[in-house]
Amino acid sequence: MKGKSHMGEQQGVSRRGLIGGAVAGGAVLAIGGLGQAAEAASSSGSIPKSVDVVVVGGGLSGLVAARNLVAAGKSVLVLEARDRVGGRLLNHTLAGGSVIESGGAFVGPTQDHVLALIKTLGLQTFKEYVAGQNVYVSKNLGTLKYTGTVPPDPLILADAAILQLRIDQMSKAVPVDAPWTAKDAATLDSQTVETWLEHNSLVPQVREVLKAYFQASFGVDASGLSMLFFLWYMATAGNETNPGTFERSSGTPDAAQDSRIVGGSQLIPLRVAALLGSRVALNAPVRKITQSGSTVTVVSDRGTVTAKRVIVAVPPPLALGIDWSPLLPARRLQLLQHMPMGTLMKVDAVYPTPFWRAAGLSGSAVFDNGVVRTTFDNSPSDAKVGVLLSFIGGSSWQQCAMLPLADRRKLVLEAFAKVVGPAALKPIDYVEHDWTQERWTMGSPVASVQPGATVAYGSTIREPFGRVHWAGTETATYWSGYMDGAVRAGERSAAEVAKLI
């Protein structure tokens, strides 16, 4: 499936619905000026010639930055390249009207900032379905049912427990706001996670099982990830009072995959955008940013606007596509060139019912082989249809993204059948979304900092460049790579700018 226009949905967030939600949430209408926004985001026509702050990118992070700046009394314009808001958050409506997500979907404990926003916007969450048994599909052991978090492979149990403990201990020593200052930072950054695992795990099998986590979480295998970056990422899977852990990053109940949003996660940016109204300009890719004297001039396909400050909230590699005058500082340019997006597609098979539930299965699985490495029950909150989901990332993506759709579909459904039985072979719908083919994202779910680059260039991650400031989930110090990180980064960048103008 290619990305489609969601303007209809955007306009579909009715003023009544929005205000009802906002009142239920309590706080939104109290924020200066925001309650007045009745117009939808603009898709064409002229844009203001001058504002206090231009925000580049109408993903969750940019929209939150804009919302907070408006609340602080600043005039703001969000320039969004696509014909929709939400970036990596994208709802997909199934034939019967149920909504699933093609992008980010799950939220969980310690993701305080996105959870607070969800509440404020009057949205509801529901628990990811985990009742029943999980399935482990192993080359050597066949198909095994289990409960808990670690697949019942006697070869990996002890190893997995020790590795998890060590990863948690090591990540505690990595400062979330300055991983380049960690003890042994250079040594950790010079090796990949795969190399570290080779030296620190007892059996190779554990590395096959961990692929399920790395490919889905980063769109990269362990062989492509810096150990320092990975430990930092684990450290960020928490909040100011709960240190990040591997379990909170990788798990489902009480962890990052704990809950989903009723109606789909894109409702979050859609509702923030509705509050901002015509302050959001769609179809407005930013092409050039020029800093001169006390102003910044931003050239977009919808026109040119000058501002006192600019917040850039785009995926890191996308910032390289902007013509910068003066050019970005050398270390910042290098950092951006060492932060590629992962390779990931999300695949969903839709069935008349979540039939596996009646058979006592959760729909969750881990594979130690093949291109499908993990599955989740992705049925909507009302379970009107049953949906099984998988992420195909990293080397699995490389193996099957170029196959004809029919061949890939067959591979996916055959894998699903190993988890829930042959009924999986006959879905009523099959939906896939390859984020590498999205012009304004170019991969997913997150940009990873390559080996060596955190130590060499990482300190520029949030460093303003003159009057240009940085948002986007990759700049967050907690839950970087997630919706929560996007919200935190939007809030931080808005606070940074608000006190300067």
Using DSSP bridges, classify how beta strands 361-367 and 133-138 pair: parallel, antiparallel or unpaired.
Answer: parallel
Specify the residue, 89 or 419, whose C-beta has the smaller distance to ligand FAD: 89
In the complex, the smallest distance separating the C-beta of residue 87 from ligand FAD, rounded to whole angstroms, is 2
The binder of ligand FAD chosen from 182, 348, 482, 498 (CB under 6 A): 482
Segment 80-139, which members bind ligand FAD (CB under 6 A)?
80-82, 87-89, 103-106
Least distance (Å) from ligand FAD to the CB of residue 336?
12
The burial class, CB within 10 Å (0-12 / 13-18 / 19+), for 43 is: middle
The span from the first CA to the last CA of the chain, in angstroms, equals: 43
Q: Give the range of 190-198, 275-283, 450-458, 478-486 binding ligand FAD by CB under 6 A.
A: 478-486
Instruction: Map residues 31-60 to x or -, x wherever contact with ligand FAD holds by CB under 6 A.
Output: -------------------------xxxxx
Instruction: Determine which residue in the list 3, 62, 132, 151 makes contact with ligand FAD, applying CB under 6 A.
Output: 62
As measured in angstroms, the least distance from the Cβ of 3 to ligand FAD is 10
The three-class DSSP label of residue 344 is strand
What is the amino acid identity at position 388? Answer: L
**425 — phi, psi (to 5°)?**
-75, -15
Q: How far is the CB of 217 from ligand FAD (least distance, A)?
A: 9
SS3 58: coil
Residues 233-262 that bind ligand FAD (CB under 6 A): none
Instruction: Work out whether 483 is an interface residue with ligand FAD (CB under 6 A).
Output: yes
Nearest distance, CB of residue 428 and ligand FAD, angstroms: 22
Which one among 486, 494, 497, 498 touches ligand FAD, defined by CB under 6 A?
A: 486
Q: Can you tell me whether residue 423 is helix, strand or coil?
A: helix
Minimum CB–partner distance for residue 316 and ligand FAD (Å) = 10
- What is the x/- site pattern for ligand FAD, positions 338-377, by CB under 6 A? ------x-x-------------------------------
CB of 198 to ligand FAD, least distance (A): 28
Closest CA to 260 of 358, 356, 387: 387
Of 3 and 179, nearer to ligand FAD (C-beta) is 3
Q: Exposed, middle or buried: residue 218 (CB in 10 Å: 0-12, 13-18, 19+)?
A: buried
H helices of 387-430, in order, are 394-400, 405-420
Looking at 145-237, list the stretches that DSSP marks H as alpha helix, in order from N- to C-terminal side. 157-172, 185-189, 193-200, 205-218, 227-235
Structural tokens at position 356: 């596996």
Q: Which helix (H) or strand (E) holds 60?
A: helix 60-71
d(C-alpha 144, C-alpha 156), whole Å: 14
Site for ligand FAD in 271-330 (CB under 6 A): 285-286, 313-315, 318, 321-322
Nearest approach in angstroms of CB 121 to ligand FAD is 15
Check residue 472 for interaction with ligand FAD (CB under 6 A): yes
Binding letters toward ligand FAD, positions 435-464, x by CB under 6 A: x----xx--xx-------------------
Which residue, 41 or 314, has its beta carbon nearer to ligand FAD? 314
In the 8-state DSSP scheme, what is residue 107? B
C-beta nearest to ligand FAD: residue:
59
Confirm if 25 and 120 have CB atoms less than 8 A apart: yes
CB of 184 to ligand FAD, least distance (A): 28
Total residues at interface with ligand FAD (CB under 6 A): 39
State whether the Cα torsion 215-344-340-238 is positive or negative. negative
Burial 416-445 (b: 16+ CB within 10 A, else e): bebbbeebbeebeeebbbbbbebebbbbbb
- Of residues 156 and 446, the one with the C-beta less far from ligand FAD: 446
Assess contact for 141 and 127: CB atoms under 8 A.
no
Question: Among 41, 79, 280, 387, which residue sits at the site for ligand FAD (rule: CB under 6 A)?
Answer: 79
Q: How far is the CB of 226 from ligand FAD (least distance, A)?
A: 19
Extract the tokens encoding 248: 């909170």
Which residue has 């950054």 as its token pair?
189
Tokens of 122: 């009057």
3 belongs to the binding site for ligand FAD (CB under 6 A)? no
Element (H, E) at 393: strand 386-393
The footprint of ligand FAD (CB under 6 A) covers 56-62, 79-82, 87-89, 103-106, 285-286, 313-315, 318, 321-322, 344, 346, 435, 440-441, 444-445, 472-473, 481-483, 486
